[in-house]
């Protein structure tokens, strides 16, 4: 072998090592092109090595293999560069391939372009190979120059406008120049026989390898595994010992003559120890450069995986995602883009390490980046994305947006072939580059985060569906009550306003235009309410045709302003139509109440607001009623009422008198006492209401509720109603059912359903021992508490079949004694005072009504 044979061996082993490594790795078009280059280099270097070694079958055969590889390198390099740039092959590419093929064929058959070298034996016994080129060699150099110039032109044209791309292609430029220089310089006499062409080929191969590494087209850990380290160590030591074996044996014989007979054993031991030492050094270096960072990132990834699997809160998961990327990779800025809830076609920054960028729009669904991620589930660097056609198809303002954000890396978040988000990363701190280890870590984080985000999105959707109304998207009644209770408790020292909005005559609207139009109207009204309330409170669909709004920290007048805005915009809906005819105008009856001035408890707030809605309904609808006070100064109210002229109470309920009398007449046919008792209770209750300062609408509701409060007795057997003895337990339970029976009758009368709260609670007690709901104190509606006082007083002062009436003073004393037990203490006090002042007088049943 020649003195430079080990150079060919080293080059061949390097190429073979790279080829075997990449052939088993995940490949794409660029990696395949690189394998073609390596194959050509192996033909060139292998042919050169076997030629210099005078291997079988002949020197000329291996020379032709070497020339084939040398010329094929040009075509393979051209393919590699075009693939690296993402360009299709052109006519010039095909011209280069044809020229290379002709040169190979002509030189192989005739040797006319560059004949095989002459093997000359040197005085020392070594053989050197000397070429004798003719002018025809310029044909081969011509194709080489053409190929190099074409490749260089492609690189310059592609990278001239982008410094980042120029930086990426600098290794290939350096490699090509080295390759061209090495093959030219060996033609000059001072360098004859020195394989500088092979050395330049190794330099070029590692320049291409570095390009691929910069593009992260393979994982460095594939090349630097422990097995690879052992193989590389053994190979390097083998090459070294192959060249140093003879000098080493001479050294032993000269200085350690006694060991000369054991030189083979000494060489074997030295080879083994040296191999182990080199392998340990390489392993230590790899652990320091690669494994340590990977182990640190693996630990961070494991902690991230455990933490996000325990959470179903989207914001918490996104915060952990950003933190883990910043801590492991060292980027200065991270953002998560997800589809906007308001615009399902736009990706916005839903979470970001820079709060100033929060909720900023970045991509639309038709953006080339989004389209690319729909088909590619892989991380991409902006420097690589610049070379793709998708980048060139983006609008200038889209490119500028990414430039302003200083995006350096983009990561798709996908789950079940669905793009659920995009991660944007800035550059690493201190301008460090992203490594393969970083990309591997980000790939693992991407997988974990995608699953966690998908699960969180499903949970939030289920949670949203459980608390919202399907049609309008507002809160449903159940969740609204929870929200109202929470806000009422939270704002215990501040105002909380409640608005209830009832659509007038909505059943008629559905009958006129159909349920589809009715549903559309509900959606439009819901949108108006949501827009008017904005972030100031919570909106809900309270019932089929009713909406509710809770406004924390709003007083009565501020809430009224929002109610008026909603009312005006709803009234304008009928004018916004594509129909050829005018649709029925939609109007709303709205009640407003605010705590603490309008209510001191949550139930009182709801009841007072509902009563305000009933007031509007009773006064022609399409209006707003404010419920101002939850309590009254009873003494001043009584004195002010005393100065007023008596009111004609019959006119208060004249509109619904026929319906009410029809019901009470039905009772009269069964029980004369109940009919007259109801009229007496109406008298006492309305008098007490006037004394309390309740307005005329409230007095009217109380009067009608009093007339109807015992209408349910029509369902109680006469044997129980007229029993002269004490009722048994079962009979008493049957008698108690008359309250529920009353509600069952009244609820079928929409024009009178506003009296239900008063009717259902007239047998409740202040101490909670009443029926049917066993509520107590101010949880009992005010109008029901008034009926309780009036009903009990009339029952005590009227003759019944099983007992005589009590004297008036005895009845008044009982009422005072039961104040705070059976009765609201303030109401009992006002009633007694009004009675003794003569403003309430005793009502006696007609003699005919007493059995």
Instruction: State which H helix or E strand residue 206 sits in.
Output: helix 196-214
What CATH class has 311-466? alpha beta
Q: Which residues of the chain does CATH 1.20.1070.10 include?
A: 5-218
Total Cβ atoms within 10 A of residue 678:
24
Q: What is the pLDDT of residue 634?
A: 37
Q: Which residues of the chain does CATH 3.30.450.40 include?
A: 311-466
What are the φ/ψ torsions at residue 554 (nearest 5 degrees)? -110, 135
Task: Find all residues with CB under 8 Å of 575, minimum gap 6, and list them.
Answer: 582
Question: What are the structure tokens assigned to 7, written together?
Answer: 């150079």
Q: What is the pLDDT of residue 824?
A: 92
Per-residue H/E/C for 243-269: HHHHHHHHHHHHHCHHHHHHHHHHHHH
Nearest to 404 by CA among 343, 328, 333, 350: 333
Instruction: State which H helix or E strand residue 632 sits in.
Output: none
Strand, coil or helix: 816: helix
Q: Do the Cβ atoms of 682 and 700 come closer than 8 Å?
A: no
User: In angstroms, how far is the first alpha carbon of the chain from the final one?
Assistant: 140
Q: Which residues of the chain does CATH 1.10.3210.10 include?
A: 634-849
Q: What is the pLDDT of residue 220?
A: 46
Q: What is the pLDDT of residue 835?
A: 92
Rounded distance between C-alpha atoms, residue 17 and residue 233, angstroms: 12
pTM over 0.85: no
Strand, coil or helix: 219: coil
Q: What is the pLDDT of residue 546?
A: 92
Q: What is the pLDDT of residue 574?
A: 65
Helix axes 782-796, 672-691, angle to 10 degrees: 130
What dihedral angle (degrees, nearest 10) is formed by the CA atoms of 88, 91, 94, 96? -110
Rounded distance between C-alpha atoms, residue 374 and residue 368, angstroms: 10
Q: What is the pLDDT of residue 848?
A: 38
> What DSSP assignment string belongs to 555-579?
-HHHHHHHHHHHHHHHHGGGGS--S
Q: What is the pLDDT of residue 728?
A: 81
Series of mean pLDDT values for 10-residue runs along the chain (851 residues)? 59 71 70 83 80 81 87 85 78 87 87 81 70 82 84 78 67 75 74 71 72 57 53 64 67 73 75 76 60 65 79 81 84 84 77 77 84 86 82 85 86 82 85 76 85 80 79 88 88 87 82 79 91 91 90 90 91 61 74 87 87 82 79 37 37 58 69 75 92 83 85 77 77 80 74 77 90 86 91 86 83 92 92 91 59 33
- Helix count (H) and strand count (E) of the chain? 33, 13
Rounded distance between C-alpha atoms, residue 433 and residue 214, angstroms: 9
> Long-range pairs for 543-546 at CB < 8 Å and ≥24 separation?
543/477, 544/506, 545/502, 545/503, 545/506, 545/507, 546/500, 546/501, 546/502, 546/503
Task: Find all residues with CB under 8 Å of 678, minimum gap 6, and list them.
Answer: 664, 667, 706, 707, 708, 709, 710
Q: What is the pLDDT of residue 240?
A: 63
Q: What is the pLDDT of residue 636?
A: 35
Buried b (16+ CB within 10 A) or exposed e, 599-625: beebebbbbbbbbbbbbbbbeeebbbb
Q: What is the pLDDT of residue 342?
A: 67
Question: What are the structure tokens assigned to 582, written together?
Answer: 């005018």
Rounded distance between C-alpha atoms, residue 172 and residue 211, angstroms: 7
Nearest to 659 by CA among 753, 749, 762, 758: 749
Q: What is the pLDDT of residue 650?
A: 42
716: Cα within 13 Å, side-chain hemisphere: 26
Rounded distance between C-alpha atoms, residue 525 and residue 548, angstroms: 12
Strand 361-364: give its sheet, edge to edge. Answer: 361-364, 346-352, 334-339, 418-425, 409-415, 380-381
Q: What is the pLDDT of residue 245?
A: 66
Q: Which residues of the chain does CATH 3.30.70.270 include?
A: 468-627
- Percent helix, strand, coil in the chain, to 5, is 65, 10, 25
Helix axes 314-329, 436-467, angle to 10 degrees: 170
What CATH class has 468-627? alpha beta
Nearest to 680 by CA among 850, 846, 847: 846
Task: Find all residues with CB under 8 Å of 438, minimum gap 6, and list them.
Answer: 329, 428
Rounded distance between C-alpha atoms, residue 565 and residue 534, angstroms: 12
CATH number of 634-849: 1.10.3210.10
Rounded distance between C-alpha atoms, residue 69 and residue 340, angstroms: 56
Instruction: State which H helix or E strand residue 86 sits in.
Output: none
**Which superfamily is assigned to 5-218 in CATH?**
Rhodopsin 7-helix transmembrane proteins (1.20.1070.10)
Q: Do the Cβ atoms of 687 and 834 come closer than 8 Å?
A: yes
Q: Do the Cβ atoms of 62 and 50 come closer than 8 Å?
A: yes
Rounded distance between C-alpha atoms, residue 1 and residue 211, angstroms: 35
Q: What is the pLDDT of residue 104?
A: 87
């Amino acid at each position: 072998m020649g003195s430079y044979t080990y150079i060919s061996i080293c080059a061949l082993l390097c190429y073979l090592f790279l080829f075997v490594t990449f052939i088993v790795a995940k490949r794409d078009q660029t990696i395949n092109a690189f394998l073609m280059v390596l194959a050509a280099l192996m033909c060139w270097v292998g042919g050169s090595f076997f030629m210099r070694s005078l291997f079988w079958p002949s020197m000329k055969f291996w020379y032709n293999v070497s020339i084939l590889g040398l010329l094929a390198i040009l075509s393979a390099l051209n393919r590699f560069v075009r693939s690296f740039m993402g360009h299709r092959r052109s006519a010039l590419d095909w011209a280069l391939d044809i020229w290379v093929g002709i040169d190979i064929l002509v030189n192989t058959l005739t040797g006319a372009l560059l004949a095989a070298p002459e093997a000359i034996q040197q005085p020392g016994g070594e053989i050197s190979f000397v070429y004798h080129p003719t002018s025809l060699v310029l044909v081969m150099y011509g194709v080489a120059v053409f190929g190099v110039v074409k490749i260089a032109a492609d690189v310059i044209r592609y990278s001239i406008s982008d410094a980042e791309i120029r930086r990426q292609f600098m290794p290939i430029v350096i490699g090509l120049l080295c390759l061209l220089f090495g093959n030219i310089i060996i033609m000059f006499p001072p360098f004859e026989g020195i394989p500088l062409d092979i050395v330049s080929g190794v330099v070029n191969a590692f320049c291409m390898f570095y390009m691929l590494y910069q593009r992260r087209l393979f994982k460095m850990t594939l090349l630097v595994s422990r097995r690879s380290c052992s193989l590389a160590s053994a190979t390097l030591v083998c090459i070294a010992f192959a060249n140093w074996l003879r000098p080493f044996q001479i050294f032993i014989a000269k200085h350690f003559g006694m060991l000369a007979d054991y030189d083979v054993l000494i060489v074997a031991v030295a080879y083994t120890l040296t191999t182990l030492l080199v392998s340990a050094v390489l392993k230590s270096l790899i652990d320091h450069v690669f494994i340590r960072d990977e182990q640190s990132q693996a630990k961070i990834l494991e902690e991230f995986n455990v933490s996000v699997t325990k959470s179903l809160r989207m914001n918490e998961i996104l915060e952990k995602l950003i933190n883990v990327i910043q801590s492991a990779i060292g980027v200065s800025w991270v953002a998560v883009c997800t589809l906007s809830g308001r615009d399902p076609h736009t990706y916005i920054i839903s979470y970001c390490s820079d709060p100033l960028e929060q909720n900023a729009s970045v991509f639309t669904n038709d953006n080339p980046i989004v389209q690319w991620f729909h088909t590619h589930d892989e991380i991409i660097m902006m420097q690589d994305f610049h070379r793709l056609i998708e980048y060139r198809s983006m609008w200038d303002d889209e490119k500028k947006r990414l430039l302003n954000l200083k995006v350096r890396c983009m990561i798709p978040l996908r789950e079940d072939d669905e793009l659920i988000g995009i991660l944007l990363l800035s550059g690493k701190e201190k301008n460090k580059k992203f490594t393969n280890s970083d990309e591997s870590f980000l790939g693992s984080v991407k997988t974990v985060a995608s699953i966690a985000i998908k699960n969180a999105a499903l949970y939030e959707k289920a949670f949203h569906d459980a608390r919202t109304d399907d049609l309008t998207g507002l809160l449903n009644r159940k969740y609204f009550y929870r929200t109202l209770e929470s806000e009422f408790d939270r704002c215990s020292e501040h105002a909380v306003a409640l608005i209830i909005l009832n659509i007038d005559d909505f059943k008629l609207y559905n009958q006129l235009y159909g349920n589809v139009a009715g549903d559309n109207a509900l959606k439009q009204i819901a949108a108006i309410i949501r827009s008017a309330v904005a972030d100031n409170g919570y909106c809900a669909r309270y019932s089929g045709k009713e909406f509710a709004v809770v406004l924390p920290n709003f007083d009565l007048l501020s809430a009224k302003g929002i109610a008026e805005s909603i009312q005006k915009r709803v009234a304008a809906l009928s004018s916004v139509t594509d129909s050829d005819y005018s649709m029925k105008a939609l109007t709303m009856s709205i009640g407003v109440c605010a705590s603490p001035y309008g209510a001191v408890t949550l139930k009182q707030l709801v009841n007072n607001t509902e009563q305000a809605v009933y007031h509007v309904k009773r006064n022609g609808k399409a209006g707003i009623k404010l419920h101002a006070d939850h309590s009254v100064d009873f003494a001043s109210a009584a004195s002010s009422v005393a100065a007023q002229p008596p009111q004609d109470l019959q006119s208060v309920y004249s509109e619904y008198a026929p319906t009410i009398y029809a019901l009470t007449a039905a009772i009269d046919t069964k029980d004369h006492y109940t009919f007259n008792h109801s009229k007496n209770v109406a008298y006492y209750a309305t008098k007490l209401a006037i004394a309390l300062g309740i307005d005329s609408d409230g007095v009217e509701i109380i009067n009608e509720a009093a007339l109807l409060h015992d209408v349910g007795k029509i369902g109680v057997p006469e044997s129980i109603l007229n029993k002269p003895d004490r009722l048994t337990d079962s009979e008493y339970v049957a008698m108690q059912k008359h309250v529920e029976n009353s509600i069952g009758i009244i609820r079928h009368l929409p024009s009178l359903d506003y009296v239900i709260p008063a009717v259902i609670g007239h047998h409740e007690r202040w101490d909670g021992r009443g029926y049917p709901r066993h509520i107590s104190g101010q949880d009992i509606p005010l109008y029901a508490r008034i009926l309780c006082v009036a009903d009990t007083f009339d029952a005590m002062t009227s003759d019944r079949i099983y007992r005589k009436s009590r004297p008036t003073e005895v009845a008044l004393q009982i009422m005072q004694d039961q104040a705070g037990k059976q009765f609201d203490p303030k109401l009992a006090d006002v009633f007694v005072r009004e009675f003794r002042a003569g403003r309430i007088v005793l009502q006696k049943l007609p003699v005919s009504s007493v059995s």
